[in-house]
Structure 1
Amino acid sequence: MAWINYNANFEPDHSYHHPDKMPTSQELSEVMSVYPKLKYFEALSCGLTDSLQTSLFADVQIEVEGETFNCHRIILASMSHYFKTMFTSKFKESGLPKVHLKDLNKEIFRAALEYIYTGQSSVKNSNVYHLLSCSSMLQIKGLQSICSEFLQKSLCHNNCIGIWKMATGHGLPELQKKSWETIQQNFPEVSKCDEFLHLSQDELIQIIDCKDLFTVKEEDVCDAVLRWVKGDPSRKKGLVAVFKVLRLTQMSLDYLCNVREGEEIEECSGCRTLVLEAIDKINSALPNEFSCPESEYRQEEVVCMVGTRSREPNPQKIEVLCYSFRHNNKFKFSTLPVEPGPCFAVCILNRDIYISGGYNQQNLMLHFNTEHNTWTECKQMKIERWSHSMVAVGKHLYLLGGTSRTNETLSSIEKFDPETGTYEEVGHLEVPVSSMTAAVFGTKIITFGGKLRDRNSASVIQFFDVSNKTKGVLGNLPESCAGSMGRAVYFEDRLIIVFREGQVVEYSEDTGPSIVCMIDQFDHFGAVNHNGEILVLGNRSGSFYAVLFNPYSGKSRHIPAPFKAPMCNFYCLKTTVSKKYLK
């Protein structure tokens, strides 16, 4: 069994809940419609519980650690694929009155039976690992999901390795993904935990070779490897395979010289050779000119700000700044080859940044490659526009509405394929608008508000489905949000829109828009999903502010602005960039 820190201090976070609000008549109607079913399942659960406790009509005995449980084949087979296969196959157990289960704890099996018969689960810190193993062995999918969700909420740097191993072993992709992300994002803390010292060589290599691994400097990764070696000296024999994935040429000469002389690699000639080769590469380059291949650099998540300067000497110049929360530092990307002017549109596709249109260059399309820090001017758009919106759906970009060179408000929707560099007009919005907020729900593009042909404020919510090219009107924004500039943020399966006047709106396709919170007003602002909350960065009257909004509690709070930027008309975007340019 994988080594797991069962004593890791973690508790599921139960502090987040949706804000209390009165249910709508539609919601009440939906609840009432399922009420008879709930009463039926409640009665059924009571009957099954009684059958388990009294052994009434029991037709099979399950023995675990010497204790016998009187059960019912039909119930076990209905909830467990393991038992279904056992009772319907030609195995000898299918007809036996008693079945012996090995490698199970009787109390854990009792808890699994409780779930099978009643739907109730008693998952807690002390039994979640064993219950997950039991439910995986017996193939009780519902209990597996409950244990998986419990562990996802409990993930921290102390337990993520053990959970990752267990999720991998039991084939739980969502839990495996979440625990892997926790390892990668918290490597400095994870590498100092006991679980790290119990990694196998292959597991260690998989972790430290990942391009998304966060580390302030590569020397810290090597230090973690050397601590891992000290935990079991026999690991020195295969250490060269680990050293091959270290980014040695991104480490300092002084550090490499110390590693070369260290006792950890004195018995590994292959490791010494790799270190000496890295030292020679660095020494052979001209001072300050050594550079690793771009493919060797790790990726790091950053917040990008794209906007125009709000001060002289050139107030119309667009800049792309990025901020790394882990480095607590601000960096500047390469200069745009062409200035689109204000009222451009921007979005992320496959980690790269695209800028389209703008008042000065209304058919412009620019592509920024985050891995190489380079801008490319793409083929020009067929339809000139500014004050429009742009979103990514699948592999394509869609440009919607806006204003033409002759100041006509547009309804046209244009699809851009970055791979072929081609454009296609695919449809029109029901209502021509500009300066609107746009978001994506599956194959639907939904726009919120904006400006009408006469420049009056629009409150209309409309959609265009890229899969079948249908369009329509879905409703209206609250009147106070009409015509206001907004920023859409995806939060799990929810869509949150922050408006300039401070309204925070949650939109649901079922219930429409509702204002869930009020925050500060901004002259210019951007918003991104950050660490389980929505971070709003903006300026007002020359001052820069930061607000965190918690979509679970519906509450907001001010925080010190992590960084400031002299920008207006800006967007905030989350993406990953090569650490080569975070210097």
Structure 2
Amino acid sequence: EMNVQHCRLLLQGLSCLRDEGKHADFNLVYGDARTPCHKVVLAVYSQRMLGTCLQSSVNFLEMENNPEYLVEKLYHWTNVGLEDLDVKMSRAADELDIEFLVKSKQVQVIQSRLDIMERARLRVFSEQLLELWRNEVLTDVILEVGGASFRCHRPVLAAMSGYFDAMFSSGMKESEDHIAIELHGFDKHVVENILSYIYTGKADIDNANADLMFAASVYFQIKPLRNLCERFLCTHTDVDNCVDVLALAECYSCKNLADNILNFMKENIVELLGKKSFQKLNSHTLQELISSDDLIVPGEEGVLNLILQWFDRQDNQSEESLSSLLYHVRCSQIRRETRQRICGTNPHLAKYSSCQTRLLQVDEHMTSDSYRNDHVLLVVRPNHFSDDVDIVCYSFMQSAWFALNQITNFNPGGSPGICFHDNCVYISGGSGNLNNFVKYDCRSNDWTFLQRMGFRRFGHCMCGVGEDIFVIGGKSMPNDTFNTIQKYSIGKGAWSKEGELRIPVSDASCACVASQILIFGGSQSIVTFSHAIQCYDLKTRTCTEIGSFPKGVLTGIMRICSNEEYFFHVTAEGKLLQSSRTDPYESAPELIGTISQRLMMTAYSVVYYKGSVLLVSDTKTAQREAKVIRYSVTETKQLQCDIKKLPFPPDSNQYFAVVVNINKRHLSLPIMT
């Protein structure tokens, strides 16, 4: 079965081929006009056309009704109105006997008719295309690899693969129908997996074949499969394989994957130091790591030690190469006595005088050396008992809480909207001041009051996309839930009306996937909850309902976090649900566990961190001390959490948490808990 997102993607690719006049092998003729099509697409939607296309000598059909608009929408269902469905499509659909459209006349609920047609179109396309492929019907190309043969449809391959599109357009013998094309240098199981992805959107990727699948997706120019392989490699990267995965990314010039692996190395450099793979780092990669502000180390002495350990095990050693690495050590942050001791005991430093000079001739009072960042759990606490907003962070490396700059005179009241975007925390509204809008910059540790919202609200959710912040739903009075969406342009510093939800909700959670904002659950009134999953498309500025939570789930207040593959939804009673981030249309969120029994939270936030969900809440554990609970999403059980206590009294009505990097120069006020 093909997933919905892939179905749309494949049809979009076929539509582009048709627009460009590529690989069309059939024409619908209306008078003097011809509508070019692909046989496989026509056969998918119409049994009549399947019979016609199976007559190998026939490549056209004369029509009594103009089929152009109908064919266009079969490929790409956009901007279809009820009038278009009845007037522009109906007669041609009857003539071609396109069953799902003929049946549409029996649908009585006018408001949902177009949504029904869209779902029917995708279902028919996915089911019938797989049927044609599995039964080798209308296949016009044979791929041969490792003694195996695979029969496929040229337009389908070309729609998903730039490699096959170019091959079939070349005019060479490979572009001829029904010719066997031999693929050299590939494993037949990999090619079979590739074809399965092209036709279904699903591929079996595991630790044994991920590198081969990634290499093949790059070779065949199948970008969505390449992205899928990248996500797998990212989520399965550890300190033992990260150097090899980085080499793979660099081999195929995959900057996004390489950047993700480098970030992993920066965050885990202390653990990586003790692994054999550390010695396989090349000098260029090591310099990139140690020059970064995001290298997470206890202190600058640790950077010096890792350079010396790496250099000690290299075959090609030179004074120049060691000196170039030492250039990135921020020497003024290491005590002179420590530098002198290391220079006196390390044989390489004793041998290379220029390296000693670089380390020792440093003014201890220098302040030009910038501090590196620390990896922290940042917690923002609007407090309805105060006009202030507290903000603190927990350093995973130092195992300590630190106070950051708070904002005063904000008066958030209850349920302000909060989101994290581009290293900034944005806070808007709240029952205490319905129009306020502020930003906390994690880089500078500063707050900024921004232009106030033109629409008064609290209980809303927020999401950052590109250069914009979106404020969604909420209410201005306890029983006044609304559906408006506002947009704040970061560059222009101005608000504008954006669009509307299909279902008005407050206290929902939201997240962005590409150019879509997903809105999960929420409250419609004090006693009525929504189980719907809504999707707001930023390109079309329309909102649709794409799914729902299972019955019995408390969706009125819910928090969300995610990794590369999944969303994790945590309800106020501590239930943990999982849904697909890569294909939100695919299935309903699934209950995978309960974080802690007997919970009922009103103030909480959740964060995904290294395979676990961190629940930040006023709710005490059985030991009546820990305010952060760690729950493994893979083992589905609560684990020991090193963060023993939040540095707040339990009197907040909301928390917001995010894992982020904060410069160590801002971590000067440790908090005793």
Instruction: Provide the TM-score with structure 1 as the length reference.
Output: 0.71
- Residues 34 and 176 (structure 1), Cα distance of their counterparts in 2 relative to 1, 3 Å cut: same
- The answer for the alignment partner of 2:286 in structure 1 is 204
SS at match of 1:359: coil
After the TM superposition, which of the residue ranges 259-268 and 242-251 deviates more from structure 2?
Answer: 259-268
Of 169, 173, 198, 2:251 maps to 169
- The answer for the alignment partner of 1:217 in structure 2 is 299
- The answer for the alignment partner of 2:459 in structure 1 is 387
Shift of residue 385, structure 1, vs aligned partner:
1.9
Structure 2 segments unaligned to the other structure (5+ residues): 1-119, 150-160, 173-183, 196-202, 669-673
Shift of residue 135, structure 1, vs aligned partner:
7.0
Q: Distance in 1 between matches of 2:431 and 2:320?
A: 64
**Contact 1:333–1:373 (CA under 8 A) maintained in structure 2:** yes
SS at match of 1:181: helix
Deviations 1:271-312 (CA, angstroms, capped at 9, x unpaired) = 34433443x2x2x47xxxxx555xx333333222212469xx
- Tell me which amino acid in the other structure corresponds to 2:569: I
- Residues 235 and 466 (structure 1), Cα distance of their counterparts in 2 relative to 1, 3 Å cut: same
- Tell me which amino acid in the other structure corresponds to 1:470: T
Q: Distance in 2 between matches of 1:342 and 1:574?
A: 24
**Contact 1:426–1:469 (CA under 8 A) maintained in structure 2:** yes
- Residues 127 and 449 (structure 1), Cα distance of their counterparts in 2 relative to 1, 3 Å cut: closer
After the TM superposition, which of the residue ranges 397-406 and 324-333 deviates more from structure 2?
Answer: 397-406
CA-based RMSD of the aligned residues comes to: 4.5
Q: Distance in 1 between matches of 2:383 and 2:276?
A: 49
**Contact 1:434–1:450 (CA under 8 A) maintained in structure 2:** yes
Q: Distance in 2 between matches of 1:148 and 1:517?
A: 28
Tell whether 2:349 aligns with 1:265. yes
- The answer for the alignment partner of 2:593 in structure 1 is 517
- Residues 81 and 363 (structure 1), Cα distance of their counterparts in 2 relative to 1, 3 Å cut: closer
Q: How many residues align?
A: 497
Larger relative contact order (CA 8 Å, sep ≥ 6): 1
Q: Distance in 2 between matches of 1:299 and 1:575?
A: 9
**Contact 2:507–2:558 (CA under 8 A) maintained in structure 1:** no
- Residues 132 and 204 (structure 1), Cα distance of their counterparts in 2 relative to 1, 3 Å cut: farther
Percent identity between the two aligned chains: 20
Q: Distance in 1 between matches of 2:497 and 2:541?
A: 11
- The answer for the alignment partner of 1:540 in structure 2 is 619
SS at match of 1:210: coil
- The answer for the alignment partner of 1:559 in structure 2 is 640
Q: Distance in 1 between matches of 2:392 and 2:357?
A: 40
- The answer for the alignment partner of 2:667 in structure 1 is 582
Structure having the higher strand fraction is 1
Q: Distance in 2 between matches of 1:424 and 1:511?
A: 34
**Contact 1:546–1:558 (CA under 8 A) maintained in structure 2:** no
Q: Distance in 2 between matches of 1:333 and 1:225?
A: 32
Tell whether 2:327 aligns with 1:244. yes
- Residues 457 and 118 (structure 1), Cα distance of their counterparts in 2 relative to 1, 3 Å cut: closer
- Residues 161 and 118 (structure 1), Cα distance of their counterparts in 2 relative to 1, 3 Å cut: closer
- Residues 89 and 421 (structure 1), Cα distance of their counterparts in 2 relative to 1, 3 Å cut: closer
- Tell me which amino acid in the other structure corresponds to 2:341: N
Shift of residue 122, structure 1, vs aligned partner:
13
SS at match of 1:458: coil
Deviations 1:527-570 (CA, angstroms, capped at 9, x unpaired) = 111112322233336844554455556x3335346232234321
Equivalence map 1:133-532=2 (5 Å) = 139=219, 155-173=237-255, 175-232=257-314, 234-261=317-344, 263-278=347-362, 280=363, 282=364, 284=365, 291-292=367-368, 296-308=370-382, 317-339=388-410, 340-404=412-476, 408-452=480-524, 455-459=526-530, 461=532, 462-474=534-546, 476-481=548-553, 484-507=556-579, 508-520=584-596, 521-523=599-601, 524-532=603-611
- Residues 417 and 152 (structure 1), Cα distance of their counterparts in 2 relative to 1, 3 Å cut: closer
- Residues 175 and 403 (structure 1), Cα distance of their counterparts in 2 relative to 1, 3 Å cut: closer
Q: Distance in 1 between matches of 2:143 and 2:247?
A: 35
**Contact 1:237–1:268 (CA under 8 A) maintained in structure 2:** no
SS at match of 1:275: helix
- Tell me which amino acid in the other structure corresponds to 1:237: E
**Contact 2:576–2:595 (CA under 8 A) maintained in structure 1:** yes
Equivalence map 1:2-81=2 (5 Å) = 36=131, 39-40=134-135, 52=147
- Residues 178 and 409 (structure 1), Cα distance of their counterparts in 2 relative to 1, 3 Å cut: closer
Q: Distance in 2 between matches of 1:247 and 1:200?
A: 21
After the TM superposition, which of the residue ranges 427-436 and 235-244 deviates more from structure 2?
Answer: 427-436
**Contact 1:457–1:483 (CA under 8 A) maintained in structure 2:** no
- Tell me which amino acid in the other structure corresponds to 2:665: K
Shift of residue 219, structure 1, vs aligned partner:
0.6
**Contact 1:133–1:170 (CA under 8 A) maintained in structure 2:** no
Deviations 1:317-373 (CA, angstroms, capped at 9, x unpaired) = 431122232332222211113332332111111011111112222211111111111
SS at match of 2:147: helix
Shift of residue 482, structure 1, vs aligned partner:
5.1
**Contact 1:112–1:134 (CA under 8 A) maintained in structure 2:** no
Q: Distance in 1 between matches of 2:529 and 2:429?
A: 22
Q: Distance in 2 between matches of 1:378 and 1:128?
A: 46
Q: Distance in 2 between matches of 1:127 and 1:202?
A: 28
SS at match of 2:615: strand
SS at match of 1:457: coil
Q: Distance in 2 between matches of 1:140 and 1:463?
A: 32
Q: Distance in 1 between matches of 2:335 and 2:230?
A: 42
Structure 1 segments unaligned to the other structure (5+ residues): 1-25, 56-78, 91-108, 286-290
SS at match of 1:540: coil
SS at match of 2:655: strand
Q: Distance in 2 between matches of 1:141 and 1:118?
A: 15
- Residues 353 and 39 (structure 1), Cα distance of their counterparts in 2 relative to 1, 3 Å cut: same
Shift of residue 406, structure 1, vs aligned partner:
9.1
**Contact 1:401–1:409 (CA under 8 A) maintained in structure 2:** yes
SS at match of 1:274: helix
- Residues 206 and 410 (structure 1), Cα distance of their counterparts in 2 relative to 1, 3 Å cut: same
- Residues 89 and 179 (structure 1), Cα distance of their counterparts in 2 relative to 1, 3 Å cut: farther
